[in-house]
């Protein structure tokens, strides 16, 4: 139990750092952990599975408006003003963010654990944030905020 | 400079194009492909038009034909062999990246990347003075 708690604390630090780095480097935005909760409504959820030396998954969940802002941020101000992104573009942005967070987390594992495979991100739409990741194991859930929007990241490792 | 960007993510294709254009590397034209097969078709078109590409930036994992298969098939077909290929990956520890380097890729860039990383990598491969906007 103690080992599990230590692992969770370590993961939280890693995830916070990775999420902040992705937003800073790729999007030029600051992003940090928040106590805010997402408004109910449609959520775009992306999942990357870990298999091999490490089993589990990384899930990111964006309320629709937050996902639109993420897409704005990815594609830059010159494209974003007044643009209504189609669903495929928004899903793509959320999937890529999940991919980068999962890849960033894997890159911080020790050499032995890093011998795991990442699946391509799968994206789905549904109503509301989910508590469970859909994978077996210990899950860490974190809410993050950027540009007045919030989203959730879940990391599950067995 | 003419660049081929291969990635199944439209968002990443646009982000990479945007970074290349502001990096001062003298990019005149960008060609997009969503997978390795489309990339090969783009190389063949460029070759037949006499408008050879100068650089290829490729995702590792793509449907239809991935980045490694693209490199092997490019070699097999003998097209654009001298054009440097840089892999772009979210997983820098992926064995596929090592395999791609062995198959002819000249470098790789991990996502998230910075403008500086792209600029330095491309400039070193093409001997472009970074920030001058000069072409090869």
| Higher pLDDT among residues B136 and A116, named by residue | A116
Tens-of-pLDDT digits for all 136 residues of chain B?
A: 999 999 999 999 999 999 999 888 889 999 999 999 999 999 999 999 999 999 999 999 999 999 999 999 999 999 999 999 999 999 888 889 999 999 999 999 999 998 899 999 998 888 755 444 433 3
Judge whether residue A91 has pLDDT over 80.
yes
- Check if B89 contacts A (Cβ < 8 Å): yes
| Chain A residues closer than 8 Å to B110 by CB | 103, 107
- Element of type H or E holding B47: helix B36-49
Record the tokens describing residue B93, joined without a space.
Answer: 């520890």
CB contact under 8 Å between B112 and A21, yes or no, is yes
B103 assigned to some structural domain: yes
Angle formed at CA B63 by CA A95 and CA B8, multiple of 5 degrees: 50
| Chain A residues closer than 8 Å to B11 by CB | 71, 74-75, 89, 92-93, 96
B62 assigned to some structural domain: yes
DSSP A135: S
DSSP A125: E
The pLDDT value given to residue A2:
46
Q: Which domains does chain A have, with CATH numbers?
A: 2-157 (3.40.1550.10)
CATH number of the domain encompassing residue B84? 3.40.50.2300
The pLDDT confidence band at residue A81, using thresholds 50, 70 and 90, is low
The pLDDT value given to residue B79:
93
The pLDDT value given to residue A131:
81
Nearest to B55 by CA among B38, B68, B72, B39: B39
Domain that holds residue B122: 2-126
CB contact under 8 Å between B18 and A76, yes or no, is yes
% of chain A with per-residue pLDDT over 70:
89
- Do the bridges between strand B29-33 and strand B55-59 make them parallel or antiparallel, or are there none, so unpaired? unpaired
**ipTM value:** 0.86
Q: Output the pTM of the full model.
A: 0.89
Q: Residue holding tokens 């103690």?
A: A2
Is the separation of the CB atoms in B6 and B62 below 8 Å? yes
Q: Mention every residue, 6+ apart, whose C-beta is less than 8 A from residue A79.
A: A72, B14
The pLDDT value given to residue A1:
41
Question: How many angstroms separate the CA atoms of A67 and A69, rounded?
Answer: 5
| Chain B residues closer than 8 Å to A106 by CB | 91, 93
Nearest to A116 by CA among A34, A27, A23, A51: A51
B131 assigned to some structural domain: no
Distance (Å) from the alpha carbon of B109 to chain A's nearest alpha carbon: 12
B20 assigned to some structural domain: yes
């Amino acid at each position: 139990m103690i080992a599990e708690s230590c692992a969770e604390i370590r993961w939280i630090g890693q995830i916070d750092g990775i999420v902040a780095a992705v937003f800073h480097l790729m999007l030029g935005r600051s992003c940090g952990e928040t106590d805010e909760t997402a408004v109910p409504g449609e959520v775009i959820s992306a999942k990357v599975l870990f298999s091999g030396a490490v089993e589990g998954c990384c899930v990111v969940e964006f309320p629709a408006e937050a996902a639109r802002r993420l897409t704005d941020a990815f594609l830059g101000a010159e494209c974003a003003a007044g643009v209504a992104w189609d669903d495929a573009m928004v899903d793509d942005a959320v999937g890529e963010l999940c991919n980068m967070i999962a890849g960033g987390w894997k890159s911080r594992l020790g050499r032995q654990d890093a011998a795991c495979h990442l699946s391509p991100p799968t994206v789905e739409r549904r109503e509301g944030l989910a508590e469970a990741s859909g994978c077996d194991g210990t899950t860490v859930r974190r809410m993050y905020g950027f540009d007045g929007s919030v989203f959730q990241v879940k990391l599950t490792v067995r | 400079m003419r660049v081929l960007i291969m990635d199944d993510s439209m968002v990443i294709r646009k982000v990479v194009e945007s970074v290349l254009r502001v990096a001062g590397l003298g990019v005149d034209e960008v060609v997009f492909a969503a997978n390795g097969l489309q990339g090969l078709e783009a190389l063949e078109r460029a070759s037949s038009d006499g408008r050879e590409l100068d650089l290829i930036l490729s995702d590792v994992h793509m449907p239809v034909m991935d980045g490694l298969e693209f490199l092997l098939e490019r070699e097999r077909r003998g097209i654009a062999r001298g054009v440097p290929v840089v892999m772009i990956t979210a997983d820098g520890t992926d064995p596929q990246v090592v395999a791609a380097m062995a198959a002819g890729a000249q470098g790789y860039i991990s996502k998230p990347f910075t403008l500086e990383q792209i600029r330095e990598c491309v400039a070193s491969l093409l001997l472009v003075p970074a920030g001058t906007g000069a072409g090869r």
